Chain A
Amino acid sequence: MISKKVILTGSFGVGKTSLFNQFIFKTFSDKYLTTIGVKVNKRVVTIDDQEVSILLWDIAGEISQDKVPNSYFLGASAIIYVVDLNRPITFQNAKTDLDHLKKIIPDSLIKVVGNKIDLIEEDKIEDLKSIMPVPCDIFTSAKNGINVEDLFSQLASELLANN
């Protein structure tokens, strides 16, 4: 079975730990408890009879990614860059952040995730899309699980295809 390091990153409070907990444990809490040290856990995802062990990293959020030590990203096969759809400031730096990340690990997959979709009214989504400096690959809700499984299955398929 192949194993891949995948890292959740983005600003603080955007829902990285909540996505981690939803994917690994299928749990969610409304209480905000900021992440201090890296947390790592793994889950096996099966795609068409092929298994991928996702070694998932959850780190402390930073308003810009150049504040995260480069060594945290090294060895990652994929980066999940999470923004909070309810706080536009969390995607303001997306373009520079992604450029920065591509420099550190050019071969890694990057997924831009717009989280907390449950807080956005349907008719506001188009407006939001129009002000985003980079498009989101997927909209999720760690709270009610919307698209969380899809996010990781898509990622697993692409990791398998790239392998």
Chain B
Amino acid sequence: MRSFIKDKFIDSLHNGMQQLLIIDNNGKLLHSDDTLFKTVTYKDKSVFEISVFVESIFALLKNIEPKEIYEYEIESDIPFIKGLHTYTFQKSKYENQEVIFWKIRDISHSLEEIKVYQQKYNEAEIERHLNS
């Protein structure tokens, strides 16, 4: 979403149910609390089978600094959950190994409102560009 819209909705972007997934440095799923979706069929498999998004930035995630947090807003790329989510990634430790914490927060409650807002704003601007 556009940055000024993000600022406007910042509170609601931090509300919503959240799932924690723990993945190892090869992308294997080690643990999930299954708050939003069940992962039983993916246990010990690659999370790339769940998310193309994670596949696309995995090389980057493996090398993030310990204190860094990467956050993205995603229109679902996971087949069994629909809507708008934030994905955050952070390095951590789990059972004595270096892992990546992947948190998925469901912010779909804000999706319609954000969409209407950004759509109206962009359409008005485009109209103005075409008439100037």
Contact = CB atoms under 8 A, between A and B. Distances in A.
Interface of A: 3, 5, 12-13, 32-42, 55, 57, 60-62, 67-69, 71-72, 74-75, 86-87, 89-90
A12 B70 contact: no
B74 A34 contact: no
Given A32-B123, A87-B126, A87-B129, A75 B60 contact: yes
Interface of B: 1-3, 52-53, 55-57, 59-60, 70-75, 77, 84-85, 111, 114-115, 118-119, 122-123, 125-126, 129-130, 132
A67 B3 CA distance: 6
Nearest to A62: B2
A39 B85 CA distance: 11
Contact of B77 (A12, A33, A39): A39
Given A75-B56, A75-B57, A36 B1 contact: yes
B74 A41 contact: no
What secondary structure prevails in chain A residues at the interface with B?
Answer: loop
B72 A42 contact: no
A8 to B, nearest CB: 13
B122 A38 contact: no
Nearest to A64: B3
Given A40-B53, A87-B130, 11 more contacts: A5-B57, A13-B122, A13-B125, A32-B119, A32-B123, A39-B75, A71-B72, A87-B129, A89-B129, A89-B132, A90-B129
Contacts of B122: 12-13, 32, 34, 61
A94 to B, nearest CB: 15
A34 B60 contact: no
Contacts of A42: 52, 55-56
